[in-house]
Amino acid sequence: MSKNPSLTERLVRNIFAGFLDLFRIGNGPLSGFTLLRKYFSSKDLREITSAVANSEKTHRGELKVAVETKIPFFQIFSGKTARDRALEMFSFLKVWDTEENTGILIYILLSEKKIVTLADRGIYKKIGQERLNLISSKIGEGFRSKAPKDAILTGIKELTEELSKHFPARKKNPNEISNEPYIS
């Protein structure tokens, strides 16, 4: 979604996102004036959940969408990038913990306008990071066009096509990871 910002710019963006979180009323991810509300409605999040569930019926992969409004300040000072944070989330959300190593994470860091798509080793053998980066770029274009939900749905559709080709569904096709987006 954006180029590499300076340390100062990263701090300002994340402080602003944290400031918006101060005005949160209630416990839901869309309560108050969070940065998340700028991009998604509750209906959008339900549509993303449904798209992931429908996608996973056609292949043996597991898709996970994770959206963070900001990252902790100490991680910015320690030099962690959005990609580093995506790797942490890949582990935290156990996207790597699928039977066939076919998990994919679409990670979105709203404060820094970054999108990273990561996959487990089973996926890399067939699809590769270059293709995942192209999908991330398309999602970023959708965010720039002010259509974030549609951008994510397009990314899910493209991943579904790849996964259906390389990892078609079998009779036994368990849902190993929650279909709901992780929101933080």
Does this model's pTM top 0.75? My answer is: yes
As beta bridge partners, residue 117 has: 106
- Report the C-alpha dihedral over residues 21, 27, 29, 33, rounded to 10 degrees: -40
Boundaries of every domain in the chain: 29-183
pLDDT higher than 80, residue 122: yes
Q: What is the pLDDT of residues 4-58, one digit of tens each?
A: 777 788 777 777 777 666 666 556 656 555 778 888 988 999 999 999 999 999 9
d(CA 16, CA 117): 25
Q: Which residues of 154-172 are buried (b: 16+ CB within 10 A; e: fewer)?
A: bbbebbbebbbebbeeeee
Domain 29-183, what architecture? Roll (3.10)
In what order do the strands lie in the sheet containing 114-119? 114-119, 103-109, 62-68, 182-183
